[in-house]
Amino acid sequence: MAEQTREQGPLRADAKRNARNILEAAERLLSADPAATMEQIAEAAGVARTTIHRRFSSRDALISSMVEAAWRQVGDAVRDARPATAPPLVALHQATANVLRVKSSWPFALGQAALDESAARIQDEVFAACDLGLRRAQEAGIIRPDADLIWARRVYIAMMDETVHAAEAADPDALADRIVDTLLHGVGAKPR
């Protein structure tokens, strides 16, 4: 699918670059200051004010595009882990590490609600892939047979969110090990 902004069709190479620069600048600025203006974002992106206003009809449209772009990357990260075909523990670890990498690049956008149908659809697809991976782990005996998988998904996502918000400067693979271990074994003492 060709890259495009919400209000327009397929973009030329320079327009794609401008749109990417705007989204990246918006993420940087809004992460640091959620009240950053469109003019500040245009300046940080190295484009004219008119360019940002032509691409995004409003601040909400810009944020909506950021949310959709971030969720697309999360979706790609989960798909790359092959939750339907890779061994369940491998897929769970890889999806975790991949998503941590994406989440650390989009803290502002991924902290926003999915504002439009497209982003919400992508988010639902990500959750469905996560549920599939957890169900396969349960079928493989990695997760208890009586575990509530929706609850497990919520806890799993919350751990990833907290890890990113804590801004731990650690390797995503090492963080994924910690998250998966905590998900599967908790923090309680092991029975003797």
Please answer whether residues 26 and 62 qualify as being in contact, where contact means their C-beta atoms are separated by less than 8 angstroms. Answer: yes
Distance CA 62, CA 22 (A): 9
Pair (79, 148) in one structural domain = yes
Pair (48, 115) in one structural domain = no
**Whole-structure pTM value:** 0.84
Residue range 40-57, pLDDT digits in tens: 999 999 999 898 988 899
Pair (171, 91) in one structural domain = yes
**Angle between helix 149-165 and 117-139 (nearest 10):** 120
Residue range 117-155, pLDDT digits in tens: 888 999 999 999 999 999 999 999 999 999 999 999 999
pLDDT band at 11 (very low <50, low <70, confident <90, very high): low
Pair (44, 85) in one structural domain = no
How many domains does the chain fold into? 2
Q: What is the CA radius of gyration of the chain?
A: 19
Pair (165, 85) in one structural domain = yes
